[in-house]
Amino acid sequence: MSRNSGDIKIVTKNRKAQHDYHLERTYQAGIVLQGSEIKSIRANNINLRDGFVQEQNGELWLIGVHISTYNQAGIYGQHDPLRPRKLLLHKREIAQLISQSRERGYTIVPTMVFLDHGRAKVEIALAKGKKQYDKRESIAKRDSDREIRRALKEDY
Is 0.85 surpassed by the pTM of this model?
A: no
Exposed e or buried b per residue across 32-44, where buried means at least 16 C-beta atoms within 10 angstroms of its C-beta: ebeebbbbbbeee
By three-state DSSP, how is residue 24 classified? strand
Are 112 and 123 in contact, with CB atoms under 8 Å apart? yes
Q: Residues 132-142: pLDDT tens digits?
A: 766 787 788 88
Mind listing the pLDDT tens digit for each residue in 26-69? Answer: 999 999 988 888 888 888 889 888 888 988 898 999 999 888 88
List of domains in the chain: 9-130 (2.40.280.10)
pLDDT of residue 27: 92
3-state secondary structure at position 86: strand
Cα(125)–Cα(93) distance, rounded to whole angstroms? 12
